[in-house]
Structure 1
């Protein structure tokens, strides 16, 4: 009867505690975040986004695909991110285990000797003061999660796991973008080296032409010296371009996890331009951007830590049990030697030097920090999309004008060179100016093309592409 009463008392207490716990801990709801006009005047209701494209379909260059594939397998930062996921998985397993009772086995033998004088027995009574006892048993302890403390800790650990997974995906999207951007930079440098090398050959010919014209008294010695200086100006630019090529190759090698070395690649002119740059709607960044998801999971984890901090103000119920065999003789160890005990205890904090208040204030402050980081990550994501879109648009706008500029400057070089040979209406300074302007425009045209290619890559990453 007493056992039945005790059982129903604990059951009633547990049900009441569960009902009360609903008022202590709160249920997570995603905060209201304003995503209107995140892309800055890019208003659309079309949810189609290039972020949904797998990276294999986003890039057409087979060499670039091979480099990205290698990077996803060998990049060390990505491997570190995967290890952090394993750490979070272990922490989640530990938090789940906290909801279960602990169970431990123990076996011990104790030999003790007592003082006969301390026993205070009458004189003449023989007492064995040397004894040996043996014990074998199990012990268990369980904390009832009546206020949701352990459940909140488990949810916090689960969100930390999701946070590390999102962080890994953020590393992956950034890795793909870094490899692609560096690859395109390498192609642009190759093109600039090609243009500069061709310019150098032409200027070497110019020097010989100026010497011939000087012999014919068409130009003076100043024109010859200027032509030589112009030739050397192109020549000294080549080592810098080659150095940049070497550094970019080494950067790509690090990204793909290999020692520095030369890289095979295609040409800049062979790159195909993506026609469609669909961005979807701004609210899709909450699901597509791994770093935004990472920030939200961090906020959810902080939210659950605040829930857990609230529960420390309420009593905890711990149930302990132990049992086994205990005997003074090994030969009859299991005969009549069973023992057990069961205990339940409530612990209500009364005064603990403000630890619980400090824990709650800390958790609340960390929750607000995580919320602000979440909001900031979304704003940064919108900014990156806007910047990438505008970079692509401005590069495209320059394309037609740049082509016309290069064509006009090419004619200007031809005309001034012809005038220098057959007319006194010009001098070598005009030739020099037109040649320098042409080289500058040609190099700027390569940069325009690079800007366009990298803008597409940056837009793809900014929208959250690369991890699906």
Structure 2
């Protein structure tokens, strides 16, 4: 009895062994996930990435813009539609595991030539009609897991499309917040410039009066006018920048270009409890990192599909129904059926299977590199944002002292110009220009601090939870 089934047992063991090789289970790749943040040594898993975006951004006007962007941004809507495509593809791959079923109802009229048959005329009917109704089915046994791997690949792609959608949302929130803060900074710089222009206009009048009093000469007058024009000429560029940022924000939230409702830079208080957690959490929190791993997982399953093409496929087909030459006999002893089981082994396919496998393996390796790169990029972005915040805070105190000193310098030089001959208008000009530059740079310092928080939040994967 054992000898009788020996060959069957050996074949079964061989199929099981080969199947185990092809159907290897997926495991997350071994990549560096620790110590990705430069100069950050902590075991605390608390991270601002888990904060809702409304907690991080307390400005009600900014919150309304972000809400509008999430509902109206066209890139986000496209990402949602891609999820639907991936979902349909997944359903298609799931159904591939089931048998197919087709129905066929036909009438065939067949007329043969008398010269084409070797019978005397009138002995046979040269024209016949065939009435046929049948059902046919086909099913491929998933011995090597080819169909299952294709289904798992589609599932990974579906999850990847969802991760991409979440990555689009985190980027969108960061773009809206950064654009909003940039707009507030431009408003502040415009206000400072306008106040400077008004002050310099008064200064021109003062210099003219001093010239009339023979305290200064005509050179001081034209220098003061040139100083005024130097400030006035920056206004068009500031207004252009404001208009461009407004248009950019309008596009982000999915509306036609127009004015953007906003508060002021002075009311913005940067979030300062900047917890990063550990870098291994990037895979948990950053959607683009998750998407990169899912892309690798899909390519891993595609490689298994390519390997399965080298092994025989078992297909079962069956059909049956009614067929008759006379319509009146259609339901009378006209039943037919056929059942076919086929085992197909590829022998020569012009190298297609080898090319398919080589391509799949290369794509899997590319996906692995992309996954590794996404982690390195994440660590880089977190480190850059943290350091940008720290340097902005360091500059703010010194910048405030610089502005205070330059304000006094402008006042002192103006007073000296009026009452003594130990100074000239060049000293006033230099101090005024330095003060304006310091004030504008102070706005940029505040903007850097605000945007560093936004960029850190995005780099850690915040905004989608």
Instruction: Give the TM-score taking structure 2 as reference length.
Output: 0.96
Aligned to 2:450: 453
Mean Cα deviation higher: 235-244 or 389-398? 235-244
Taking the TM superposition and a 5 Å limit, the aligned residue runs for 1:259-338 are 259-338=256-335
Among 99, 102, 110, which residue is 1:104 paired with?
102
Report the equivalent of 1:52: 50
**Greater mean alpha carbon deviation, residues 419-428 or residues 389-398:** 419-428
Aligned to 1:156, which of 130, 153, 156? 153
Which residue among 76, 80, 99 is the counterpart of 1:82?
Answer: 80
Alignment equivalent of 1:242, drawn from 235, 239, 244: 239
1:114 shift after superposition: 2.8
Q: Which runs of 4+ in 1 moved over 3 A?
A: 9-20, 115-121
Q: Which moved more, 1:88-97 or 1:239-248?
A: 88-97
* Counterpart-to-counterpart distance in 1, 2:258 and 2:115: 87
Alignment of 1:170-189 (within 5 A): 170-189=167-186
Matches within 5 A, 1:66-465: 66-116=64-114, 118-121=116-119, 123=120, 126-465=123-462
Distance change in 2, residues 1:148/1:228 (3 Å): same
How many angstroms does 1:124 deviate by? 8.2
Gaps of 5+ in 1: 1-8
Q: Out of 55-64 and 20-29, give the one that drifted further.
A: 20-29
CA distance in 2, matches of 1:306, 1:446: 54
1:58 CA drift (Å): 1.4
> How far apart, CA to CA, are the structure 1 residues paired with 2:356 and 2:259?
55
Contact 2:130 2:324 in 1 (8 A): yes
Indicate conservation of the 8 Å contact 1:25/1:310, yes or no: no
Farther-moved stretch of structure 1 (85-94 vs 172-181):
85-94
Give, in angstroms, the shift of residue 275 of structure 1: 2.1
Partner-residue secondary structure (3-state), 2:328:
coil
Bigger mean CA offset, 27-36 vs 407-416: 27-36
Q: Is the 8 A contact 1:28 1:300 kept in 2?
A: yes
Q: Distance in 1 between matches of 2:101 and 2:14?
A: 27
Shift of 1:125: 7.0
Residues 292-331 of structure 1: CA deviation (Å, up to 9, x unaligned): 1111111111101101111111100000000011112222
Once superposed, what is the RMSD of the aligned Cα atoms? 1.7
> Which residue in the other structure is 1:32 paired with?
30
User: For 1:313 and 1:116, how far apart are their aligned partners in 2?
Assistant: 51
Look up the SS of the partner of 1:41 in the other structure.
Answer: coil
Question: 1:231-252 CA distances to partner (integer Å, 9 max, x unpaired)?
Answer: 1111111111111100110000
How far residue 119 of structure 1 moved from its aligned partner, in angstroms, is 4.2
Tell me the distance in 2 between the aligned counterparts of 1:95 and 1:84.
17
Q: Which moved further from structure 2: 28-37 or 318-327?
A: 28-37
Per-residue deviation, 1:12? 11
Q: Look up the SS of the partner of 2:385 in the other structure.
A: helix
In structure 2, the partner of 1:3 is none
Q: For 1:209 and 1:125, locate their aligned partners in 2 and report how far apart those are by CA, in whole Å.
A: 128
Residues matched between the structures, number: 459
Question: Cα 1:10–1:457, aligned 2, differ >3 Å: closer, same or farther?
Answer: farther
SS in 2 for 1:331: helix
**In 2, are the aligned partners of 1:14 and 1:146 still within 8 Å (CA)?**
no
- Give 3-state SS (helix, strand or coil) of 2:321's partner: strand
> Does the aligned pair in 2 maintain the 1:45–1:280 contact within 8 Å?
yes
How many Å apart are 1:35 and its aligned residue?
2.2
Contact 1:146 1:316 in 2 (8 A): yes
SS at match of 1:266: coil
Q: Within 1, Cα distance between the matches of 2:359 and 2:201?
A: 72
TM-score (structure 1 length as normaliser)? 0.95
